[in-house]
Structures are given as C-alpha cells and as structure tokens.
Amino acid sequence: MYRARFPIMQDFDRVTWFDAEERKIAGDRYTYGFGQTKDHWTQFEEYREAFEKDPDTDIPVPDGYTAPFYKAKREREMRQAHAYFKQRLDEAVAKGLWDPEKMEVPTP
C-alpha cells in the first residue's frame, strides 16, 4: 500500500531523518521537524557527508539534535500496525463484539 498509494510520502521519507531523541529533521520544507530551520538541514547534510566518510568526524550535529540519526522504516511499521489491528479485530469477532459480514456491532 505504501509503495503503491503514497508516492508523496515516499518523497518526504527520502529526505527525513530522526535523531537519538526521536526529533525529526527533514530536507523538504513541507515536512520540517518542530523548530527546524533551513540551516539545520544544511548542517545535517554537512554532518552526514562527513560521517559517511569518517564516523569519528569532528563536524558537529545540527544545533539541538543528538546523534545517531536514523530513517523511518515505514513498510515495516505499517506491517506491524496491520498485524496489531488485525489481532484486535480477530479477538473482537471471536468475542461476538463485531460482525464481519454486516461490518457492524451485533445487536442483541
């Protein structure tokens, strides 16, 4: 679903990272993290390029952010969410709290 129906989200995700404190930093102004400026992204790009060459780089992380940085794993997260809600639905059907045929709560 993510690959087939969410191309704009995929574009945003390509330039979106999270720091060790789960603070978002993004390269697209439409999805900047809270309090993020254009300078934060520029600092992050410099840091990331230097880090890829040498993990012991002296280039600082952007102001207010904490290394290490990671990217979201949307497909894995969506699969986990689907499994969780499928389990809840199956339990509700088994207890008679949901009618999958009528797609409603059964009436007594």
Are residues 64 and 22 part of one domain?
Answer: yes
Position 3 scores a pLDDT of: 87
Residues 11, 51, single domain; the answer is: yes
When the pLDDT of each residue in the chain is averaged and rounded to a whole number, the result is 94
Do 60 and 91 share a domain, yes or no? no
Looking at residue 90, its pLDDT comes to: 96
How many Å apart are CA 31 and CA 44, to the nearest integer? 15
pLDDT at 22: 96
Confidence (pTM):
0.76
- Domain hosting 92: range is 74-108
pLDDT, residue 107, reads 81
Low-confidence spans in the chain with pLDDT less than 70: none
Predicted confidence at residue 92, as pLDDT, reads 95
Q: In terms of domains, do 65 and 91 share one?
A: no
Quick one: 31 and 79 in the same domain?
A: no
Give me the number of domains the chain comprises.
2
Residues 59 and 36 in one domain: yes
